[in-house]
Amino acid sequence: MMDPKYEMMPEQDPAVFSPGRFGVPPAAEPEEQQPLRPVYRPAGTRDLVFAGILAVLCILAADFYFWGGLGLAATVVTALIFLTGASYLLKHRRKLTGYSVFCGLAYVIGAGAFLISDGGFLHFLLIHVLLALATVAMMEVMDLRADRDSSFRNVGDFFRTLFGLTFGNIGAAFYGIFHREDETGETKSRKMGAPLLGFACAIPVLLIVIPLLMSSDEAFDNMLGRISGDTVGELVLSTLLGLFAFLLIFSRLFALPKTEKREKAPSTFRGMASVTLCVALGMISFVYVLYLVSQLAYFFDAFSGLLPKGFSVAEYARRGFFEMCIVCAINLALIFLAALLSRKEEGKTPLAIRLFSLFFCVFSLVLISTALSKMFLYIGSFGMTHKRILTSVFMLFLAVMFLAVGLRLFVPRVPYMKIGLITASLLLIATCYANVDSMIAEYNVTAYQNHKLDSIDMDTLAELDGDSAVPWLLELLEDADYLDGISVRIEAKEQLRSIFEDHFVTEQEWIDHRYKKIYTYKALDWRAYNITAARAHQLLWENRTAFLDLSYMEIS
């Protein structure tokens, strides 16, 4: 037997071992960190209660979003889904920051925008911003950001939380729902197969029994006859869509308490030589300087509200806008790439590269300010439209982003990614609350009546959410002007009649060689209630005689 004092040589002792000591070769490089895998655990009582409440809310949300209209019901259920998820995570939270509180408050306030109007495309954008706010709030509360510097690297953490923790944990969510932990700590399957089998067996029997009962009893037939095929289809589709949404939301929230922050992997990339980057950025900057010199006259004209020779207002305002957006996007990409690829000096990007990046920010701000001045000139000459308003809002967002990035170049603590999300959410929520459709209709009609606009574009009013335009279309019923050979008054009547038919039930009867329309008053669906729709509903009914041809219409 070997003497114990010889069992461990000094070079074998981990406490005294170091690479190269006693001629021993250095230790191997550590293995690459394995990706996080879903944690399979049985769901507890609290998890199941949360799952049940969330499933009901998701089914209601599917119905309210797709069939109930984006109104009061959508506001309530959207806020409740977030608050329910927040209360579930409250027990497991790892930190609570002002940024996470802002995201939560912005989400709830943003959900209230559905109460203002049916914004169409704006509401489509709002839903995506609410999704981003909820995801970032989860990241902050559960401390899932690998990079704490609020830089573009946080985008990876965002998509990991949004997609990786959602689709990657669907199997774990199913496992948790269908498994339980007994008193001894052993995991067992929940006995849910028998009830589900009984439910499945009852369906074919009911399909035979229900028609027989309906044919045998008139009262039962009348009761079930009120349930139309559309209602059944709506219920089935709402359930399927809602359960799909529930599965995605629950999978992410169920996994978050056991999800650890992704460790930031050390980078072996040393960076490119500063000279290489400076030459590339310098060439691009030289072209930008030439552009600025060539456009000085146009800049002064834009800021003074004057038109260059040979340009109409429309041509001047539209000229170069989309190119400006592309150039700004390229400039942002160049700034980020320069910071990512540059060889750091004492942990900082070289001063020369930061100065070039600052010039790109200033150049982009000049382009944005010029485009905004052109847009204001365009609106003053031709009125407001959706594109002109949303374009102006987007340019304001770009301006804030370039200001934040420019400051970050010399003040490392400026959280430009946080500023970007805060700015985007505030601008979009404010735009929704401003009721852009109503604002466009009011401005165009008022400016036309005050002779600030030479004409009014009735097609623009027709493209708006009809409810928002109703009060201002009523203003045009007494207008005697003709635009392009078309009476403004007649066009306003046609638009009001179309909106009226959308609000009230219409039937038709064939009388005197033509159809007679029958309108029946109905209350506004509470699910689709919003301030603009309720106002339009009342105004349309009260003023129906001003735009309806009652000789071939009947009001009941």
Tell me the sheet residues that pair with 272.
342
Please, what is the end-to-end C-alpha distance for the chain in angstroms? 109
The answer to which of 105-119, 341-355, 417-431 has the lowest mean pLDDT is 341-355
Residues in contact with 526: Cβ distance below 8 Å, sequence separation at least 6, in sequence order: 72, 73
User: Residue 246: what pLDDT?
Assistant: 93
178, exposed or middle or buried, with CB in 10 Å at 0-12, 13-18, 19+?
Answer: middle
- Distance between CA atoms of 59 and 490, rounded to whole angstroms? 44
Closest to 378 (Cα-Cα) out of 446, 305, 447 = 305
Query: Of 165, 415, 103, 156, which Cα lies nearest the Cα of 263?
Result: 156
Residues 6 or more apart whose Cβ sits within 8 Å of residue 26: 19, 20
pLDDT-wise least confident of 226-230, 233-237, 259-263, 284-288: 226-230
Report the pLDDT averaged over residues 469-489: 84
- Report the predicted TM-score, pTM, of the whole model to 2 decimal places: 0.80
β-pairing verdict for 505-511 and 514-520: antiparallel
Structure tokens at 234: 């709506």
Q: How far apart are CA 74 and CA 529, in angstroms?
A: 10
Q: What's the pLDDT at 14? A: 45
Q: CB of 554 within 8 A of CB of 517?
A: yes
Q: Packing angle between helix 193-216 and helix 218-225, nearest 10 degrees?
A: 120
Residue 238 sits at the vertex; the CA angle it makes with 237 and 239, to the nearest 5 degrees, is 90
Span 358-378, mean pLDDT?
87
Is 67 strand, coil or helix?
A: coil
């939301």: which residue's tokens?
A: 249
Predicted confidence (pLDDT) per residue in 323-336, tens digit: 777 888 889 889 98
CA distance 376 to 392: 9
- β-bridge pairing 482-483 and 486-487: antiparallel
> Residue 345: beta bridge partners?
348
Token readout for 445 is 């009609």
Rounded CA gap, 525 and 345, in Å?
Answer: 64
Q: Residue for token digits 């003040």?
A: 411
Residue pLDDT, tens place only, 404-416: 999 998 988 889 8
For 253-264, letters b (16+ CB in 10 Å) and e give: bbbbbebeebee
Q: Which residues contact 515 (CB under 8 A, 6 or more apart)?
A: 508, 509, 552
How far apart CA 372 and CA 392 sit, in angstroms, is: 6
Cα gap 302→204, rounded to integer Å:
73
Contact 504, 521 (CB under 8 A): yes
Rg of the chain, C-alpha, whole Å: 32
pLDDT higher than 50, residue 146: yes
Give the DSSP letter string of 100-155: HHHHHHHHHHHHGGGGT---THHHHHHHHHHHHHHHHHHHHHTT--S-TT-STTHH
Q: Looking at residue 312, what is its pLDDT?
A: 52
**What would the two tokens of residue 35 be?**
């990706």
Q: What gap in Å lies between CA 408 and CA 445, rounded to an integer?
A: 44
Q: Cα 328 to the chain's mean position, in Å?
A: 22
Tokens read off for 202 = 């009852």
What is the average pLDDT value for the chain, to the nearest integer? 80
Q: What is the mean pLDDT of residues 17-45?
A: 55
Provide CB contacts within 8 A for 291, sequence distance 6+.
none
